[in-house]
Amino acid sequence: MDRLDLVDPELYRSGVPREYFRWLRDNDPVAWHDEIDGPGYWVLTRYDDVVAANRDWELYSNALKGSSIEEARSEEELAGRRRIFVNQDPPDHTRHRKLVSSAFTPGQVKRMTPLIEATCSRLVDEILDGEVHDFVTVAEELSFQMVATLFGVPEGDWPALIEITRALADFQDPEVNPSLAPRPEIQHQMFSYATELLAKVRMDPVAHSGIVSELVNAQIEEDGVAHRLTDLEIIAFFPAVLVGGLSTTAHTMVEAVNSWIEDPELFAEWSGEECPPAVVEEMLRWRGPVMSFRRTATADHELHGASIRAGDKVLLSYASANRDERHFADPDVFDASRVPLDHVAFGGGGPHFCIGAQLARLDLRLVFSELFRRVESFELAGDPVRLRANQFAGWLHLPVRATAR
């Protein structure tokens, strides 16, 4: 089969290439792809291989070249990437991740429940007014509120910051980023905002809460010496957590509504009821938003007969692994009763496993519950537009009209 250019964001305008991934899983599970504007890359498409690579961080590094599919354009850009903990390996990664992980414990996440429920209820009131709503805007508002609260962003800053976060998350789409300016240029806007916020937090620490103020007070040990984090170290947490939190969760909500429109019976079993956790998990497996993450091999090795060399780029395809028929029976069917439901939508384990997984699960379950309880049906009320992006499978617009139960 002819190779598809999996790095080309344009490819995903017509959806995830499921048939292509199936072919790769069956015929070429470690498939080399030449790249027009880069060194070329391997794609791992089988479940077991993705899980193994996720856990073997010594052989598959995030720090060497970062976790983004596109290459850094200079050493300086690469150094900038490495300040963000998703682009580090243990032990640096462990030290930095630990600084924010207390905010994501099950107890902390559970405390968000009343806020998320109140927002869900308000947003569903709004969409049940008989008018047309872009469900992407609804989902983003909800996801952003949750992550901004957790992060400690003052409410007055939300409207501006959601725009910046969205620009960074969707930087490959010309509607959001008309000049298609590269990611570091857009990231710069977020760093400017973060620097301003840090100055305010340092000036009046009592008036602020959340992850930002914890980071301001945190100590980190390097070479046996403890020091407070510099502004440069703290602002590096902003893109990872805000982008990670905004777009993935929102895309999953939007995809659920799109799937509901495609098949009005899909969620009929839970109509009028709470959403069971398994429905969220199966939605994430079936149409999860993160297509892949990048690693770089640290040593020459063989996998299924392919010779991977030290320095080679390797894409871990979560979109493919979640449909691997070697692991999931009838993988293309949505079936919330499947056992086990051990998808890799949040990663396959290992040090980089999604830090926001519990928060995303709670958020999705509360949103789906509110929709199942109160919405009878959705209809499409305009042209849906898929996002131009090569890492997230999502929608740029999904105009809908909702009917109340």
Binding site for ligand HEM (CB under 6 A): 54, 85-86, 97, 147, 240-241, 244-245, 248-249, 252, 284, 288-290, 293, 318, 345-347, 350, 352-356, 359-360
Q: Are 254 and 144 in contact (CB under 8 A)?
A: no
315 vs 345, which CB is nearer to ligand HEM? Answer: 345
Residue nearer to ligand HEM on the CB measure, 23 or 350: 350
Nearest alpha-carbon partner for 146 in 291, 351, 347, 358: 358
Nearer to ligand HEM, 56 or 381 (CB): 56
Q: How far apart are CB 119 and ligand HEM at their closest, in Å? A: 15
Q: What distance in Å separates the CA atoms of residue 404 and residue 375, rounded to the nearest whole number?
A: 5
DSSP string, 44-83: E-SHHHHHHHHH-TTTEESTTT-S-SSPPSSHHHHHHHHT
Nearer to ligand HEM, 8 or 56 (CB): 56
Only one residue has tokens 């590094």, namely 61
Would you say 30 or 284 has its CB closer to ligand HEM? Answer: 284
Question: How far apart are alpha carbons 171 and 387 in whole angstroms?
Answer: 10
CB of 95 to ligand HEM, least distance (A): 12
Please, what is the minimum distance in Å from the beta carbon of residue 251 to ligand HEM? 7
Structure tokens at 308: 């991977």
Q: In degrees to the nearest 10, what's the CA dihedral of 173, 179, 185, 186? A: -40
Tokens 């407070």 sit on residue: 228
Q: How far is the CB of 351 from ligand HEM (least distance, A)?
A: 6
CA distance 282 to 57: 27
Query: Based on CB atoms, which residue is closest to ligand HEM, 191 or 293?
Result: 293
Residue 345, classified by CB atoms within 10 Å of its CB into exposed (0-12), middle (13-18) or buried (19+), is: buried
Q: CB of 352 within 8 A of CB of 344? A: no
CB of 393 to ligand HEM, least distance (A): 10
**What backbone torsions phi and psi does residue 173 show, to the nearest 5 degrees?**
-100, 125
Residue nearest to ligand HEM (CB): 356
Q: 3-state DSSP helix/strand/coil percent for the chain, to nearest 5?
A: 50, 15, 35
Question: Between 23 and 351, whose beta carbon lies closer to ligand HEM?
Answer: 351
Helix locations, 204-236, DSSP H: 210-217, 231-235
In degrees and rounded to multiples of 5, residue 170 shows phi and psi of -110, 35
Q: Which of residues 6 and 360 has its CB atom nearest to ligand HEM in the complex? A: 360
* H or E element, residue 315: strand 313-317
- Minimum CB separation from ligand HEM for residue 289, in Å? 5
**Toward ligand HEM, which CB reaches closer, 150 or 167?**
150
Least distance from ligand HEM to the Cβ atom of residue 114, Å: 18
Smallest separation, CB 67 to ligand HEM (Å): 6
> Least Å distance between CB 368 and ligand HEM?
12
